[in-house]
Amino acid sequence: MTVNNKNQNYVVETGKRVLKSSSFNIFIVLFVMCVIMYIVSEPFRSWDNVLSIARNFSAYAITGIGVSMVIIAGGIDLSLGSVYGFAGVIATMAMADLGWPAFPSIILGMIAGALFGLFNGLLVVKAKLPPFIATLGTLSIARSLCYILTEGYPVTDVKERFLFLGQGYMASIPTPIWMMVIVAIIFAVFLNQTVTGRRIYALGGNEEATRISGINVNKVKVLVYTLCSLLAGFSGIMTASRLGIGQPTSGQGFELDAIAAVIIGGASLDGGAGTVTGTILGAAIMGVLRNALVLLSIKSHWQSLIIGFVIIIAVAADQLKKSRGK
Amino acid sequence: MKKAAPVRSPFLEMKGITKRFPGVLALDKVDFSVELGKVISLVGENGAGKSTLMKILSGVLEKDQGEIFIEGKKVNIDGPLTARNLGISIIYQELMDLPNMNIAENIFVGREIKKGIFADKKRMHLQAKELISRVALDVDTNTKVAKLSVAQRQMLEVAKALSLDAKVIIMDEPTSSLTNTETEVLFEIINKLKQDNVAIVFISHRMNEITRISDEVAVMRDGQMVGLLSKEEIEEQRIISMMVGREINDIFAKEEANISDIALEVKNLNTDFLKDISFNVRKGEILGFAGLVGAGRSEVMRAVFGIDNKDSGEIYIHGKKVDIRSTVDALKHRIGFVPENRKEQALILGMSVRGNISLAELENISKYNFIDKKKEIELAEKYIEDLQIRTPSREQKVQNLSGGNQQKVVISKWMAIKPDILILDEPTRGIDVGAKKEIHMLMSQLAKQGVAVIMISSELPEVLGMSDRIVVMHEGRIKGELSRENASQESIMKLAIS
């Protein structure tokens, strides 16, 4: 009887927590958007369209998961759009100019991206630069390196096998979607189950208290910037594969979209809050919205305007909820 | 004795001032008056109500009850601007100037002299020059304030007050960051101001300065005005006994513990503020650190715990020299630190009770970096029960707990690492009586288990009630050490302000 009661309580408690969680609110928004689109748009209903949406937002989601860790830790990374482009250029150049096979080239691109993150992290903890400034600097540096290395021309001549990452299918599901799922699972486990993950939340929640709890906060900071750039780089390489070329301009303005996905997903720029699930839902909302605007034949000039409003409304609603909670 | 002189009301009079903060009566029907051309010192322990009273006078806080008269006329001070217009100026301990602007701009900020729509720089600099010469500040009025010394900036503040035609200038611990020579200069200025018929309210903890400069001394304690000493009555011993003269009627949850070997020894610790700090604490001992706020007690502990850098000094733990450069090192040596500001320095407010309790112990309840959730829950449940943390569940966010329960969470975090040395900085500040007692009991229990406990407290009864030994600090130095038997409020206070 008591055991039963306890179990029941647990179910009720967990249920309440899910209902109260910000991820659930975002899910509702996404759900409503999908229902409306389902009703008004015939082409929206097709399975191909669903896969296409998911494939398109998977790059946002993967990068978003990276930057969400920085944001949870109380920082910000503006450089990721350029790092995204840079890693794509490095990976494609390794194949085109050095004749490397696909897999090592992908690894090289990811290392190149991660090094930028390491650099960001060191600027923040050693040179004590505000993250905004440090990553604004690398944003510019990484982009310029893209142009210097490619002399402004797209890198063509990539290996056939490389295309699998962005264009391939596994079990009739596009590879990027698989990649998103794998990255999401790894990092959800990392953030929720590990000591380091817990410390990322603690750092963003209260840096001083975290330091006074005997934790090396600098190590945590360097790690989150490195992981963020690693994932941004990976997304960039995936996009290069999707397009079949390494574009020096790839990922321009991408940082803002990725950060927007994280914020819509319920993370707080003050740090300490945010989830992988939320980030994916945030990226999904952006993806569905983009798709909807296309299907409803809304001119592309208007799309950014509408997305801008969605970001503002999402964050304002969250703030409102928080201040009422207090 | 009393002369039947014509009844002359003082320039400024505060009558029956009462101010309540949530849970505290900060001021209880306080009377205070100021006469032109005199220096009145306002003294009292931290929390006696001096600052609250002065904040009401300068319009920063609103009083709940009471009246204020200027030249016999009732006034309503409803904001800092009103106070300023009535001739009341306050010079805070932390200077409120604009470091990137020059002297003239600082004096006239917000009320620039204008010619048409443009600032009349020439006239402002001319007037500024005259003003600063009145306070013996001899620098170019184009100098950026950031380039001035603290003393010079203070003089600039006085000049600013004079430019506002101040009749009453309140100085809140003006000498605390001044050298002896600079203090002499300030005193000369104060004397000059007296001759100009300005009234000075002087707040200080330094007895020698108070006895030297005051025409009157008003003593506050626990929100009440407990005495007013005239020039002839001013005497150090008398002031001290009035400041502390409260009855100790609290019974402290102090228990006998077996005091054994030295657990922590600090030798000749120096930083830019701390000078030659040496002390030790034994297993099972509660070592109290007394002193006024700003005496450097927290700074000592922050240096020992590896939060702040040390210039020199050695730390020994169980007789072995150790190198503590960061909090990570401190944790390795099983030192726990409960800092003075729970919310800013100790708690992750948005995190659960469970997450906060396990934070410092995570490495020991994990395998390959994966947290053993079962062990974590056990840890949290254990301390919630042992310390009777009142929370609806272990998953409750810490920000929703009361102050006392929050503090218990902080202490749990450190108990979880099984500390050899536990440092507590103002562990019961802002906590209700019941929780306070529980925390005292906890400290006694920890000492009994052989933990070396260091407690900083600004509450003398608490220091006296809980400590086996008491170290007293003043202005970055250790001024003395008292055994439990020899310590009294007077003996501590005497060391704390000498």
Report how far apart the first and last C-alpha atoms of chain A are (Å, whole number).
37
B131: closest CA of chain A, how far (Å) = 41
Residue of chain B minimizing CA distance to A10: B393
Q: Is residue A249 part of a domain?
A: yes
In a domain, A207, yes or no: yes
Mutation test of the interface with chain A: which of B341, B344, B351, choosing the one with the most A Cβ atoms within 10 A? B351
SS3 B448: helix
DSSP B472: E
Among the ranges given (A7-11, A34-38, B47-51, B356-360), the one the predictor scored with the smallest mean pLDDT: A7-11
Q: Is the pLDDT of residue B14 over 60?
A: yes
pLDDT band at B303 (very low <50, low <70, confident <90, very high): very high
Contact A198 B355 (CB under 8 A): yes
Greatest alpha-carbon span in chain A: 74
* pLDDT above 70 for A285: yes
Query: Domain for residue A88, yes or no?
Result: yes
Question: What mean pLDDT comes out for the span A203-208?
Answer: 95
The answer to whether B119 contacts chain A (CB < 8 Å) is: no
| Cβ–Cβ contact B344 with A under 8 A | yes
Residue of B91 and B411 predicted with greater confidence: B411
B280 beta partners: B265
Say if domain B12-244 classifies as CATH 3.40.50.10490.
no
| Contact (CB<8Å) A201/B327 | no
> Is the pLDDT confidence value at A141 over 70?
yes
Mean pLDDT calculated for residue range B310-331: 94
Distance from CA of B308 to the nearest CA of A (A): 11
In this structure, the strands spanning B320-322 and B312-317 are antiparallel
The residue that leads in pLDDT, B235 or B353, is: B353
Question: What does the alpha-carbon distance between residue B201 and residue B210 come to, in Å, rounded to a whole number?
Answer: 11
CA separation for the pair B385, B383 (Å, rounded):
5
In a domain, A80, yes or no: yes
B99-108, B190-199, B242-251, range with the lowest pLDDT: B242-251
- Closest partner residue to A206 (CB to CB) among B332, B337, B347 is B347
Asked if residues A125 and A216 have their Cβ atoms less than 8 Å apart, the reply is: no
Alpha helix stretches (DSSP H) within B14-148: 50-57, 80-85, 103-107, 121-134
Q: Which of A99, A15, A18, A37 is nearest to A288 (CA)?
A: A37
Show residues of chain B in contact with A212, CB under 8 Å. Answer: 305, 307, 327, 337, 339, 345-346
Cα angle, residue B118 at apex, residues B113 and B120 outer, rounded to 5°: 40
Local structure of residue B6 (DSSP, 8 states): P
Residue A38: inside a domain, yes or no? no
This prediction's pTM: 0.79
Question: Residue ranges of the alpha helices (H) in B204-252?
Answer: 207-213, 236-244
Q: In chain A, whose CA is at the least distance from the CA of B365?
A: A195
Contact B368, B325 (CB under 8 A): no
Q: How confident is the model at residue B247 (pLDDT cuts 50, 70, 90)?
A: low
Amino acid at B490: E
Spatial separation of the C-alpha atoms in residues B28 and B49, rounded to whole Å? 9
Residue in A closest to B324 by C-alpha: A214
pLDDT reading at A2 higher than 50: no
pLDDT at B246: 56
Is some CB atom of chain A closer than 8 A to the CB atom of B307?
yes
Q: What is the pLDDT of residue B222?
A: 82
* pLDDT for residue B245 is more than 80: no
Which has the higher per-residue pLDDT, B237 or A145?
A145
Could you tell me if residue A87 is inside a domain? yes
Tell me, yes or no, if A41 comes closer than 8 A to chain B by beta carbon: no
Select the more confidently predicted residue: A32 or B178. Answer: A32
Q: Is residue A20 part of a domain?
A: no
Mean pLDDT of B107-126: 83
* Out of A140-154, A177-191, B4-18, B416-430, least confident range: B4-18
Chain B residue closest in CA terms to A211: B327
Local structure of A59: helix, strand or coil? helix
Tell if the CB–CB gap between B369 and A194 is shorter than 8 Å.
yes
**Which tokens sit at B495?**
């060391």
Contacts of range A45-52, beta carbons closer than 8 Å, 24 or more positions apart: A49/A291, A51/A173, A51/A174, A51/A177, A52/A291
Average pLDDT, integer, range B219-233: 89
> Which chain B residue shows the shortest CA-CA distance from A325?
B400
Select the more confidently predicted residue: A290 or B331. B331
Dihedral of alpha carbons B164, B170, B176, B182, sign: positive
pLDDT at A9: 65
Instruction: Compute the mean pLDDT over every residue in chain A, rounded to the nearest whole number.
Output: 89
pLDDT of residue B392: 87
Residues A219, A224, A227, A233, CA torsion sign: negative
CA distance B87 to chain A (A): 41
Interface contact B350, partner A, CB < 8 A: yes
**Can B12-244 and B262-497 be said to share one CATH topology?**
yes
> By C-alpha distance, which of A286, A146, A121 is closest to A200?
A121
Q: Which domain holds residue A292?
A: 48-318
Boundaries of every domain in chain B: 12-244, 262-497
What's the CATH code of the domain at A292? 1.10.3470
Q: Write the pLDDT tens digit of every residue in B432-470.
A: 777 888 899 999 999 999 999 999 998 888 999 999 999
User: Distance (Å) from the C-alpha of residue A161 to the closest C-alpha of chain B?
Assistant: 35
pLDDT at A118 over 90: yes
**CA A275, A277, A281 angle in degrees (round to 5)?**
120
Smallest Cβ–Cβ distance between A201 and the set B327, B351, B366 belongs to B351
Output the pLDDT for position B431.
Answer: 76
Under the banding of pLDDT at 50, 70 and 90, the label for residue B3 is: very low
> How many structural domains are present in chain A?
1
Task: Quote the ipTM score.
Answer: 0.86
Average pLDDT, chain B: 88
* Residue A324 pLDDT greater than 80, yes or no: no
> In this predicted structure, which of A174-178, A321-325, B177-181, B411-415 has the lowest mean pLDDT?
A321-325
C-alpha B489/C-alpha B487 separation (Å) is 7
Q: How far apart are CA B150 and CA B265, in angstroms?
A: 35
pLDDT class of A5 with cuts at 50, 70, 90:
low
Lowest mean pLDDT among A58-72, A263-277, B173-187: B173-187
Asked whether the predicted pLDDT for residue A326 surpasses 70, the reply is no
Q: Which of A26-40, A153-167, B77-91, B347-361 has the highest mean pLDDT?
A: B347-361
B366 touches chain A (CB under 8 A): yes
Can you tell me the mean pLDDT for B158-162? Answer: 87
- Chain A partners of B371 at a C-beta cutoff of 8 Å? 193-195, 198
Asked if A206 is an interface residue toward chain B (Cβ–Cβ < 8 A), one would say yes
- CATH classification of B262-497 is 3.40.50.300, yes or no? yes
